[in-house]
Amino acid sequence: MKKILPLLLILTILGIAAVIFVSMAKKSQPITIVKGNTQKKPLPIKLNFTNDSQCKMLITKKDNTAEVIAPDGKTWFFDDPGCMVLWLQHKPFKESAVLWVYTLDTKRWIDAKKAYYGVKDHTEMHYGFGAREKRTKSCIDFNEMQLRMYRGENLTNPKIRKKLLEN
């Protein structure tokens, strides 16, 4: 009996672990990438169920969300245009990717490279680059926004934040 008891205990623990593992595997996992977007159009984002591919946070609102579509139709999602730029920086398909951003002003998807970006907007990761379809006085273009992200010249930088918010 003394030899069987440890064996039964181990089998019971393994059985419980297997049940837990199987039940976790059946739960829906957050969306991080969608394959097969051959039309290269922006896909609907399932809020509170889709992860940002750069920062891994759940996307909770549609404003300033972005999507990157690779030539093969794979689509990645972002909660902030700054996250999209950082994630895309070293990707081999960087130049051929289709980029979409959801704008603050017109509330629709537009080509991210044609959008204008505010420099001190509230965005999910606090970079400050809110996307717009219509140019306003203080907006910058995509290339300038991209350059500022690469340099760290955004609202997450205390010196830049102080300078921008003083004006």
Print pLDDT tens along the chain (167 aa): 667 877 788 888 888 888 877 776 656 678 889 999 999 999 999 999 999 999 999 999 999 999 999 999 999 999 999 999 999 999 999 999 999 999 999 999 999 999 999 999 999 999 999 999 999 999 999 999 999 999 999 999 999 999 988 86
SS3 158: helix
Question: Is there a domain that residue 23 lies in?
Answer: no
Question: Is there a domain that residue 6 lies in?
Answer: no
Question: Is there a domain that residue 93 lies in?
Answer: yes
Cα(57)–Cα(95) distance, integer angstroms: 25
DSSP string covering 131-153, please? EESS--TT-EEHHHHHHHHHHT-
Which pLDDT value is given to residue 20?
A: 79
Question: Is there a domain that residue 16 lies in?
Answer: no
Question: Is there a domain that residue 20 lies in?
Answer: no
Cα(69)–Cα(94) distance, integer angstroms: 10
Burial of 120 (0-12, 13-18, 19+ CB in 10 A): middle
Asked if residues 73 and 37 have their Cβ atoms less than 8 Å apart, the reply is: yes
Of the candidates 53, 42, 93, 51, which has an alpha carbon nearest to the alpha carbon of residue 72? Answer: 93
Q: How many domains does the chain have?
A: 1
Cα(116)–Cα(104) distance, integer angstroms: 10
Cα(41)–Cα(96) distance, integer angstroms: 14
Look at the chain and count its residues.
Answer: 167
Is pTM beyond 0.85 here? no
| Domain that residue 114 falls in | 33-166
Which pLDDT value is given to residue 27?
A: 61
Which pLDDT value is given to residue 167?
A: 67
Which pLDDT value is given to residue 14?
A: 86
Question: Is there a domain that residue 45 lies in?
Answer: yes
Which pLDDT value is given to residue 19?
A: 80
